[in-house]
Structure 1
Amino acid sequence: MKVMKLPNHLEPAQLWDSVLKVQTFKGVDTKILKKLFISEASLAILQDCFWWWFLHKFKPDQAEQDHLFDRISDSFVALLLSTPSFIKDPFFQMYPDCLSQAIYVTFCEAFPESRLRFTDEFKEELMDLVFQWIRGFKPQKSAWKKWNLFWLEAPLTQTQKTDSLHKLSSLKLQNSVIKTRSIGKSWSRSPIADQPQVHFQLEKEEPKEVEVTPKKKAESHYIGDGPDFQRSLFNLGGQSPLVVYYLKMHGISNTLANMRAYRINHIEICKVPSASPTYRDAIAESQKIAEKRHNDFLNFEHKCADELAHLQRQRKKVNRTYKRMLATITKKRTESRLQTESFISQRETPKPCHSASTSASTSTVSSAAEDLP
């Protein structure tokens, strides 16, 4: 059973290797784990999951998606049976997360100029799907934030952003949009020589070598109440949905379905509050306000200092004027005393015209007195 090749000449083994390089394996044999990840069944799962997600997001085709899901369930059961029991639990605990990362890396490498289209919501939906297929329930909200795919998360240059915006539909496969009939044939069990060749022509510029330094962003809790939770029953004796589907597809009786099921309350997050503002944001905003107030205080202090300096200059000017006038008055004290006495004497001496009129009045009064009998 041949698997549809990935676009842009990508090799699934290399994609798995790029994801495994940034993973942390504790308490397990890494060599065995890596062999399981790059096994034939695991490579087929990656390729089929990529095409299923591609059709689901950009070219829905239920019939072809169902056919792909059949192949995915077959490959998963093959991987499950080939995994040694001593490493089965740790392997399948990390497998859904690593598979989600590998699918995301495949999209970014296959369509590098459409990175703006692979948003956080894209990653969230992808993880929910993979975890529900393998485990039967969704992962923690925003679990993709723990991915260490720093070489894909490097900020775009302005030119790359412009190109991405102009080519937001660059997921188009020019003259080679996957034809439903062609895909159906390529997934058949016919020999590889009979399979149609699909050529992917992606318009892109030559990749530029950019040195990327990984930098872990500091996390901070959001302000306010926490998320809302809901309880759901979880079957401890249940199986992976892919396994259940495989048994049903091949008509194999599920013996565990007839056994007593032990169900527990499984707590899930049903509503996640807004991721912002966080306490770090609040602290940063408080620091900005404090800095602004400090700057305002300094400006006010400088303004007051300028006004005080102006008043000091005015005061010195008035003092100089006063001292100059005082020096002019006290320069020649004798002359000033004589001028003052002369002025006072002039004010006290009677006017001449007034004395003559008084004498005349006295003579007239005397004559009048002599004429009296």
Structure 2
Amino acid sequence: MLVELYQYPQFNSAVPNRLPNGVNFCDMVGNVVRAERNRLSGKSFCSDKELEKFLSSPSPRAMWLDSFWWIFHERYQPNKEVQNKLFDRISQNYASLLLHEFKSHYEEALLKRLPSLLSKAVYTSFCCCFPQSWFNTHEFKSDICNTMSLWISGIYPCLQSYNSWDYSELDPERFRREKIILQRRLLKKREFSLFTSKRCISQMSIQNKKIHCLKSPGISSTTEKDSLAKKSLPDSSQTQNVTKEYHGQTLVFRKAAKQVKRISQAREYENMLPKQSYPACKSPELTSNFFNIYGKSPLIVHFLQNYASLQQHGKDVLIVRREKTKSIPESVLTYAEVIDLTLSNMKKRKENFHQLNRLHWNEWKYFDEYLKGLQENFLRDVKNVDQRALEKKKANHMFIQPSSFLEESFDKKRRGSHERETAFLSRTGKLLQEPRSFDISTSKMIQTLKKKGRPVLGLELKELFAQILIIASTSTDALSNVS
């Protein structure tokens, strides 16, 4: 079932080889006929019977099969001898198709569309004969289209003309898989939308109930409303029955036609398929090339050179025209892909920002807790120090009572000062009773001062007297020596 592993049978010079893996040719013809229909209207450029008759006729059938095997050899198992034989037979069948065979009302339209028909025919044959291989690539499809168009008309087709093909008919297996995947995605989206809508409706109903409870003044108003609703129920049921009957009559009279059903189904399929998005880059520049107005079909040229006796094989009238020769590679991102990438990048950056914000707040929280712990430890230490100081004070007060100690010291001071005063008064009295001795001592001190050459002042005498009184108060031995 893989095209790379298939072994080509020997070339049959009498009849074209059949399609591999037991694929029926008539089924392939049906695929091409259905692919030519318009998805919305269901019509094609000619009737289905005429198109089926044309493709099943001997010459187009032989061209189809030989073109299939020529491309198989060209891409997967190159063999120039077999390819030359196939090309020769294709040219003979094309010449016979133009000269002898097909006569129909749609002859001109069919011959104009022959390159496109053969391209679709070869593509659907590869897809159905080798379903495990992947042919939905730009390279493979453009190779088929270019080969068929160059052989028949001598010019290149429009770039990426295969984008308008109906792959639901040409590649049914791949389209079936993609359809299942799309249906699953749509079901998930619908389930999510239904879940969100139900959630919103439930929230709205809860809010309405709260508002209704706040507005209702009492039970009497609710009972009145219930009674009114019960009265209005029969009328509403009657109106519903009337509307149902009317709609039933309209449905009986209005039946959807087959064409309307086809169009609706086609629109559903189009809505399911992803919309085409163009590549997000500059389009390739137009190049100037020579274009032959009369055109030369390589198949006809080969036939005339080998099987006809004509000396001149037509004319060449060349003009210069600008055309697109380079197509945009598939690796270039489309606008839809760029939008998806930007949205995903924005989402990732948003998540990274939230994570950094969480880390930042967690670090600040840890730092605050650490500071609080330090502060609590410091306050605890201060409290312990204060408590120890208080305990020491309490212990001191327990051993010495301050009130008794103060009274005893105050009494001692009073007793000592009283005794000193009485002794001082008695000693001064004795000195006053002996004025001579006092005058003698003072006169001696004055004389000593005069010998030093200093005048005697009243203030100095007072100071001397005060010193004598102090000495007298301190000791009785000093007073006796002074006297």
TM-score by length of 2: 0.49
Give the direction of change, closer, same or farther, for the CA distance of 1:58–1:281 in structure 2 (3 Å limit).
Answer: closer
Q: After TM superposition, give the deviation of residue 75 of structure 1 in Å.
A: 1.2
Counterpart in 1 of 2:141? 123
Counterpart in 2 of 1:19? 32
What is the RMSD computed on CA atoms of the aligned residues? 4.3
Q: Is the 8 A contact 2:288 2:320 kept in 1?
A: no
Q: 1:52 aligns with which of 57, 70, 73?
A: 70
Give the letter aligned to residue 91 of structure 2: S
Counterpart in 1 of 2:281? 224
Counterpart in 1 of 2:291? 234
Structure-to-structure mapping, 1:246-325, within 5 angstroms: 246-253=303-310, 257-258=314-315, 261=317, 263-265=319-321, 267-270=323-326, 272-273=328-329, 275-295=331-351
Q: Deviations over 1:66-95 (max 9, x none)?
A: 111111011112223444486344323332
Q: After TM superposition, give the deviation of residue 219 of structure 1 in Å.
A: 1.6
Give the direction of change, closer, same or farther, for the CA distance of 1:130–1:2 in structure 2 (3 Å limit).
Answer: same
Q: After TM superposition, give the deviation of residue 294 of structure 1 in Å.
A: 4.2
Distance 1:275 1:58 in 2: 24
Which deviates the most, 230-239 or 117-126? Answer: 117-126
Does 2:174 match 1:153?
Answer: yes
Distance 1:47 1:110 in 2: 13
Distance 1:250 1:292 in 2: 69
Which deviates the most, 100-109 or 298-307? Answer: 298-307
Q: 2:46 aligns with which of 22, 26, 29?
A: 29
Give the direction of change, closer, same or farther, for the CA distance of 1:42–1:354 in structure 2 (3 Å limit).
Answer: farther
Structure-to-structure mapping, 1:1-373, within 5 angstroms: 1-24=14-37, 28-30=45-47, 31-81=49-99, 82-84=101-103, 87-113=106-132, 115-116=133-134, 119-150=137-168, 151-154=172-175, 215-253=272-310, 257-258=314-315, 261=317, 263-265=319-321, 267-270=323-326, 272-273=328-329, 275-295=331-351, 352=409, 356=413, 363=420, 366-368=473-475, 371=479, 373=483
Q: Deviations over 1:301-338 (max 9, x none)?
A: 77788878x989x99xx9xxx9xxxxxxxxxxxxxxxx
Give the gaps of 5 or more residues in structure 2.
Answer: 1-13, 179-268, 380-401, 421-469
Give the direction of change, closer, same or farther, for the CA distance of 1:74–1:357 in structure 2 (3 Å limit).
Answer: farther
The higher radius of gyration belongs to 2
Query: 1:42 is paired with a residue of what secondary structure?
Result: helix
Distance 1:350 1:76 in 2: 146
Distance 1:61 1:122 in 2: 19
Q: After TM superposition, give the deviation of residue 11 of structure 1 in Å.
A: 3.0
Q: Is the 8 A contact 2:159 2:324 kept in 1?
A: no
Q: Is the 8 A contact 2:115 2:148 kept in 1?
A: yes
Q: Is the 8 A contact 1:223 1:279 kept in 2?
A: yes
Give the gaps of 5 or more residues in structure 1.
Answer: 158-212, 323-344
TM-score by length of 1: 0.62
